[in-house]
Structure 1
């Protein structure tokens, strides 16, 4: 049968066990295909869960170890454009000795599912699978065609995952005009009667840079005025100490206006840093999107303590506000100075789209049904997601992975952090919201 969202919400208790099982698969992505583990196993697990209820998913990838899974659910109204819902199966590594639980055991305790990937992003993957399984067993069919995509390699830029799929198999996404993935839809409690759910409507650009200083090599005992290591150290120090100016994007303006309204105050004349300080964990997320950033992440120079090398290099993790690419290059060149050369290791686009769309209205309505205190606002993400690949196919990309969180949970610290965990109640809430959203389109 065809079904739209009704007044009843399925309980989706299965999502908790699905999330636990998926976390127990160590799909760590080290950035090196030779040492990354478990991405194929995670993909095979997804295929098995979908085949159990009658789906025929497609599994394919760059090589045998990096596999992606796609299943297309045809909608009742084929004239409507299709929607892509995507989540990644890989996670960043975890050092077990630093955790209070085994990061790859999928432990369920104290009202949480614990483990690497619990919120980045095996929680949403579990929601997607739980919804697909419920649709098949209950005979539910969405009105709009939805492509569910489970990707590899997102944690290292998606070269072997989303970008590979877009380049080599664009036909899998035929008809998709919009895409929904991470990160967004998590709650921030303003007071007992108000919870703000930021929805991701843009991402800073990723720009990983290698910088090089050159000088005159020689013996370490001699006086040297042309020392590559000293030049590099000066340049890195200048970059690290610099604070780039605030950039008022459309997204930031809407967020500030909206959070002010939610807090019952006019924030138009308040400095953004002051607002950020008042928002706690959410403030750290938003604060990283106020300006361009360039953080030194690596240094390499020399091969022997008594030899002055001819070159010294460093790496910088740069994140660029949408529309700021040329201005950022001018800023960084001024900071580095004439003695330093630079080259891009990775240079991916920044994204920003409108918050005022029917798709966002549907997200807002689905949240409102489950949480009457909810309000939605746009935000710009400081990191990057697979959206950077799917936008190349002309899709408008949003981040919406709904979670209703305890007010005292430091959500921002859990991303790639120690003791990553997701509340059990947030998982079932998220599955209900996501299901209602998809069936309302």
Structure 2
């Protein structure tokens, strides 16, 4: 047919892991006590293995899809965009051009072994960092001055700590809170239903929970601090790194302007460390969402599909900016409080891995038919 392809995307690179931090060798694939252990098992080698295994299975079965299926296993997701998806889009767009993509960024959640929801990542916040820097002529510490680079920077950081960006919901986060309100109880359930209608009091209460606060607004937080050059010298410079996670609807320039306004101090320089372009959420298109919901209900009756906005970032950013909607969906379930991606003893439960294998086998067939 003339239908554009589906892109199945996974990255093969992983973050650092130190042997002394793990109970097992992080770079030796290990099966133990019902889990697969190793750096990258959940982020993102499980999906890479599943896509390839299912592609081989389709081929052996002689199945011919009505639209092409492209599998891209890429590098540099964890460390940058030098040789990964961004490079492919710039240099070889034709190889990965698609109607939409399935990528990491979703997955199911368990609570004490019970399936709560199957998440679909349709949006994500964008990583932007700024350097805050103050300067002073310094001097000998035995003769303190009323102006001090460290104190001036500290005052600015305290202002930023108290500042909150406004609440802004998009199609994805509004759907998330609406659907989560049916799974929660009491005041939390009521607030989730109300915040999607613009209730400021509900938003204020939900903001007291860090993860909900991060879903509702752009956030900026101090992550690094440096200053001075000697114990017995007044500091000539103080520097802080502010890491921001920007909502898709906000621009990085607007975020920087807000920081400058909050600081209200021309003595604090605010400069870019890196700058990224936010991407619009992928539409919750029925042509994609209905098959996901249908296959989810076939595998796990009664388990809802939950649209998600990731507070971190993935390669879906580049696809969305290139006009390729991207959806994080895997059917790979994990306990709510046992996320080990990037952490110690990263692992995937073996039964959940094989459920995901079969789920994606059926889903991709459905989407390509």
Q: Structures share a fold, TM > 0.5?
A: yes
Cα RMSD after superposing both structures: 2.5
| Match of residue 55 from structure 2 | 132
- Name the structure 1 match of 2:179: 258
Give the one of 297, 301, 304 matched to 1:368: 297
* CA shift digits 1:78-114 (9 cap, x unpaired): x111121111111111222222222221111111111
Counterpart-to-counterpart distance in 2, 1:123 and 1:285? 25
Q: Contact 1:85–1:181 at 8 Å: present in 2 too?
A: yes
Which runs of 5 or more structure 1 residues have no equivalent in the other structure? 1-76, 278-282
Q: Do residues 167 (structure 1) and 90 (structure 2) align?
A: yes
**What corresponds to 2:259 in structure 1?**
332
Structure 2 Cα separation of the partners of residues 321 and 400 of structure 1 = 21
Tell me the SS of whatever aligns to 1:223: coil
1:186 matched to 2:114: no
Counterparts of 1:190 and 1:287, CA distance in 2: 25
Structure 1 match to 2:198: none
2:99 counterpart (177, 182, 189): 177
Matches within 5 A, 1:303-342: 303-325=229-251, 327-338=254-265, 339-342=267-270
The corresponding residue for 1:300 is: 226
Closer, same or farther in 2 for the Cα pair 1:84/1:284, shift >3 Å? Answer: farther
Counterparts in 2 of 1:257 and 1:122: CA distance versus 1, 3 Å: same
Q: Secondary structure at the match of 1:120?
A: helix
**Residues 77-156 of structure 1 aligned to structure 2 (within 5 Å):** 77=1, 79-156=2-79
Contact 1:285 1:381 survives alignment (8 Å)? no
SS at match of 1:383: coil
Report what 1:29 is aligned to. Answer: none
Q: Which has the higher contact order (CA 8 A, sep 6+)?
A: 2
Q: Secondary structure at the match of 2:342?
A: coil
> What SS does structure 1 have at the residue aligned with 2:41?
coil
- Give the Cα–Cα distance (whole angstroms) in 1 for the partners of residues 163 and 207 of structure 2: 19
Question: Would you say the 8 A contact 2:88–2:96 is kept in 1?
Answer: no
8 Å CA contact retained: 2:206, 2:213: no
Matched-pair contact (CA < 8 Å) for 1:114–1:419:
yes
SS of the residue corresponding to residue 194 of structure 2 reads coil
Partner Cα distance (1:311, 1:276) in 2: 35
Determine the C-alpha separation between the residues in 1 that align with 2:3 and 2:231. 67
Q: How does 1:203-282 map to 2 (within 5 A)?
A: 203-263=124-184, 267-269=192-194, 271-272=202-203
The aligned residue for residue 400 of structure 1 is 329
- Residues of 2 paired with 1:85 and 1:318: CA distance? 29
The count of residues paired between Structure 1 and Structure 2 equals: 354
Following superposition, the deviation at residue 307 of structure 1 comes to 3.0
How much has 1:358 moved relative to structure 2?
0.8
Tell me how far apart the structure 2 counterparts of residues 85 and 129 of structure 1 sit (CA, whole Å): 10
TM-score (norm 2): 0.87
Shift of 1:440: 0.9
Is 2:337 the partner of 1:410? yes
Equivalent positions of 1:346-385 (< 5 A) are: 346-351=274-279, 352-385=281-314
383-392 or 216-225: which moved more?
216-225
Residues in 2 aligned to 1:349 and 1:87: alpha-carbon distance in whole angstroms: 21
Alignment partners' CA distance in 2, 1:225 and 1:215 = 11
Secondary structure at 2:225 match in 1: strand
In structure 1, which of residues 388, 413, 417 is the aligned counterpart of residue 317 of structure 2? 388
Pick which of 289-298 and 81-90 moved more.
289-298
Taking the aligned partners of 1:253 and 1:190, their CA distance within structure 2 comes to 27
State the partner residue of 2:366: 440
- Residues 179-204 of structure 1 deviation map (CA, whole Å, 9 limit, x = unaligned): 22111132345996x63112111111
Give distance in 1, aligned partners of 2:64 and 2:146: 73
Q: Matched residues in 2 for 1:132 and 1:96: separation? A: 34
Query: Which moves more between the two structures, 200-209 or 358-367?
Result: 358-367
Structure 2, unpaired ranges of 5+: 196-201
Q: Which moved more, 1:157-166 or 1:143-152?
A: 157-166
